[in-house]
Amino acid sequence: MTEQSSAGRRFRDAVADERPLQVVGAINAYSALLAERAGFRALYVSGAGVANASYGLPDLGITQLADVVEDVRRITDATRTPVLVDIDTGFGGAFSVARTVRELTRAGAAAVHIEDQVQAKRCGHRPGKELVSTAEMVDRVKAAVDARTDPELVVMARTDARASEGLEAAVERAEAYVEAGADMVFAEAMHSLDDIRAFTDRVPVPVLANITEFGKTPYFTVEELREAGAGLVLYPLSAFRAMSRAAEAVYGAIRADGTQERVLDRMQTREELYEVLGYHDYERKLDELFGRDGRTGGGQR
Ligand SMILES: C[C@](O)(C(=O)O)[C@H](CC(=O)O)C(=O)O
Ligand SMILES: [Mg+2]
């Protein structure tokens, strides 16, 4: 990996090096830093995460391209770890899909996944999903592939067909999407390792298994997924769910007790925060620049 390598190249390298590549959701730049420190080689910007965490909205196709781009840019500014981005249905017709791909590449995305649901999409693990035809999704994939400005940007095609059309139809769709140029496939809402195996046996590109919590897919281990041939495994919202639970506990305790003492052990300390941010290096830089022990220079006042 060279300094010049594109984000897409870094993502492809990570997929080649780690099987299956663990891809973990980060809802903001600070979470991205934490994930990186934990050793993950790829990050994820979840559509549900943008909707839920950044806008307080459900994952029902309400957020738009600009909302996703903003979150992606903040994360890619903070880390060089490649980022897979959920672009839902691509935010419109062929030219809109192309614009989505270009904007996200500019924002530093390494990979995008586009799905075959209708524009008024649902979460992949909820009932009531409707799909566009295979032909329409093939057009989406072609538009996305054609719009690449980083030739190594990964275009991943997601199929939600398992729920409404069954496993065989879902695999056939995936094959058609790969034929149309998709670099990788996202097999959504698999019920079993055999489901995953059905994809990996027939689809000639890396297949992602989405191990989101409280959904349709059991919590398969990396080892089990490797045996089933998965190329990537996604944990889109795990940290967000845990952060939310911790926040509930802290808000509740402060409100009930009139002090935070009972929940201090749930908090990262100031020193730990600074460690992650490299805060002291910034301070040293100030001292170096302005040489005023502890006092800031004119530019910082
Ligand atoms: C992966 C996903 O598309 C997301 O936006 O994170 C969601 C995750 C979830 O709702 O748990 C999905 O699977 O539809
Ligand atoms: Mg999503």
Q: Is the pLDDT of residue 299 over 90?
A: no
The per-residue pLDDT for 291 is 85
> Distance between CA 12 and CA 87 in Å, rounded?
19
Q: Is 66 annotated as contributing to ligand binding?
A: no
3-state SS assignment for residue 52: helix
Q: How far apart are CA 278 and CA 272, in angstroms?
A: 10
How far, in Å, is the centroid of ligand 1 from the Cα of 49? 8
pLDDT tens across 135-156, in order?
Answer: 999 999 999 999 999 999 999 9
Q: How many CA atoms lie within 13 A of 285 on its CB side?
A: 7
Ligand 1 near 59 CB (within 6 A): yes
Q: What is the pLDDT of residues 197-253, one digit of tens each?
A: 999 999 999 999 999 999 999 999 999 999 999 999 999 999 999 999 999 999 999
Closest atom of ligand 1 to 213 CA is: 11
How far is it, in rounded angstroms, from Cα 23 to Cα 45? 10
Nearest CA to ligand 1 atom 12: 124
Instruction: Report residue 293's pLDDT band, with 50, 70 and 90 as the boundaries.
Output: low
Q: Is 211 in the pocket of ligand 1 (CB under 6 A)?
A: no
Is the pTM higher than 0.90? The answer reads yes
Name the CATH architecture for the domain at 7-237. Answer: Alpha-Beta Barrel (3.20)
The separation between CA 97 and the C-alpha centre of its own chain, rounded to angstroms, equals 18
Tokens of 142: 């072609």
Distance of alpha carbon 110 from alpha carbon 43, whole angstroms: 10
- Residue extents of the structural domains in the chain: 7-237, 244-289
Reply yes or no on whether the pLDDT at 295 is more than 60.
no
Q: Is 183 in the pocket of ligand 1 (CB under 6 A)?
A: no
Catalytic residue among 18, 71, 86, 183: 86
| Residues in contact with 18: Cβ distance below 8 Å, sequence separation at least 6, in sequence order | 41
Structure tokens at 181: 């140029």
